[in-house]
Amino acid sequence: MTHSVEFLLDDSSDQQIRSQWAALTAAGLPSGDRIRSATNRPHITAMAATGISPEVDGELAVVAMHLPFPVTLGAVVVFGHGSHRVLARLVVPSSELLSVHATIVRMGAEHAIDDTGVPALFAHSRPGAWTPHVTLARRVRIDQIPAALEVLGTDPIEGSVQALRRWDGDAHTEHVIGGI
């Protein structure tokens, strides 16, 4: 299972994304709203790996002391290949976001290990390869994309990053660090 370190949004931005999830669901489209876990929330994944040691939490707490910072959720983007896609809102890459991301990856990479002790940071998490986004829907059929785009609209969402979260995909637990 995937482990991650994530940026969590302020209440207003979180609610606006949840409203978009609900609008997609109301239109009969796939949505992040369909994940019924208590830990399901809008977020920006900063780092992902096959495993992340909880020992990183102390270092993340130092990073969290520099929160909040502003963030803009911009245009809808379509990821993937094959017959289904992922819809997400791109995050405008401010210098502050990129700097904090690079710090998290630098600190977190040494704690990203698999069961055999091999470094396990996913390449798409690294600075220069990272595409910051907030997922709106997974498994969207290609023929559903126009309807989804119409539901979602184009207005940006102005908000802030309020906290960090370490997600343990094996235990399905979240560890919120700072803020919120």
Structure-model confidence comparison of residues 2 and 131, the more confident one: 131
| pTM, entire model | 0.92
What is the tens place of the pLDDT at every residue in 53-107?
899 999 999 999 989 999 999 999 999 999 999 999 999 999 999 999 999 999 8
Q: Alpha helices of 73-157 — where are they, by DSSP H?
A: 95-109, 145-152
Residue 116's pLDDT is 65
Q: List the one residue out of 36, 46, 37 whose CA is nearest residue 8.
A: 46
Find the mean pLDDT for residues 32-50: 84
Residue 175's pLDDT is 94
Where residue 95 falls (left for φ over 0; alpha for ψ -120 to 50; beta otherwise) is: alpha
pLDDT at position 39 over 80 = no
The two three-digit tokens of residue 171, written as one number: 């235990």
Amino acid at 73: L
User: Can you give the residue range of the structural domain that contains 15?
Assistant: 3-177
Phi and psi, residue 141, nearest 5°: -65, 150
Contact 79, 132 (CB under 8 A): no
User: Dihedral of CA 50/54/56/61: which sign?
Assistant: positive
Find the mean pLDDT for residues 26-34: 91
The two three-digit tokens of residue 36, written as one number: 């019924």
Angle ∠(94,97,99) on CA atoms, nearest 5: 105
Q: Is 117 exposed, middle or buried (0-12, 13-18, 19+ CB in 10 A)?
A: exposed
Domain count, the chain: 1
Residue 76's pLDDT is 96
Q: List the one residue out of 131, 138, 132, 35 whose CA is nearest residue 83.
A: 138
Q: What is the CATH number of the domain that holds 133?
A: 3.90.1140.10
